[in-house]
Amino acid sequence: MILPKVRDPRFITVRRGGTLTDPHHRQLAEWAAVCAEHVLHLFEAERPDDLRPRQAIEAARAWVRGEVKMMEARAVGGAANTAARPLKGAPRYAAYAAAQAALVAHVAAHELGAAAYAIKAARAAATRDAESAGRRECRWQREQLPDEIRELVLDDQRARNEICWSVFTC
């Protein structure tokens, strides 16, 4: 479970009673796609013919550009989740990261899911010192954060670190 029991209004769009603006929602989705794409090769090495996780990342970006509706991105994210289920380790986590990126269009708080699963993928792929690999991935992700959403995401990481397998201690 990576979503909090009580939803943070900062991750609910203004039109639904929260404080998240559409531009910031799109930035969260793009950042999630960047995080997922960074580890996608771990899935593709295992399943090179399965395009569902790559399509999920593409759907996230298409939603950011206004080219697909939220429900379409959500459906493609669901397909990436299905691609992940039979796998183990790094390929599984990389596919879950891609799925979470696409789901940001539906629920902005999935942004941490993409990042957390990408860190888990990096840890699982490490041949030694998985914790260091996870911290490097976490730091890399933070370097990718746009200034406009940086504090929001870092605060979210602090608040949800425990339910996200404590991967954001970097």
Report residue 42 as tokens. Answer: 């771990």
Tell me what pLDDT residue 2 has.
84
Would 101 be classed as within a structural domain?
yes
Q: Please check whether residue 83 is in contact with residue 53, taking contact to mean a CB–CB distance below 8 angstroms.
A: yes
Residue 1 lies in a domain: no
Residue 1's pLDDT is 64
Question: Residue 67, SS3?
Answer: coil
Q: Are 53 and 93 in contact (CB under 8 A)?
A: no
Assigned domain for 89 exists: yes
Q: In this structure, is residue 74 part of a structural domain?
A: yes
Question: Structural domain of residue 128, as residue ranges?
Answer: 19-164
Q: What is the mean pLDDT of residues 151-169?
A: 96
Does residue 127 form part of some domain?
A: yes
Count of domains observed in the chain: 1
* 149: in domain: yes
Q: Is 10 a domain residue? A: no
Categorize the per-residue pLDDT at 60 as very low, low, confident or very high, splitting at 50, 70 and 90. Answer: very high
Q: pLDDT digits over 103-142, tens only? A: 999 999 999 999 999 999 999 999 999 999 999 999 999 9
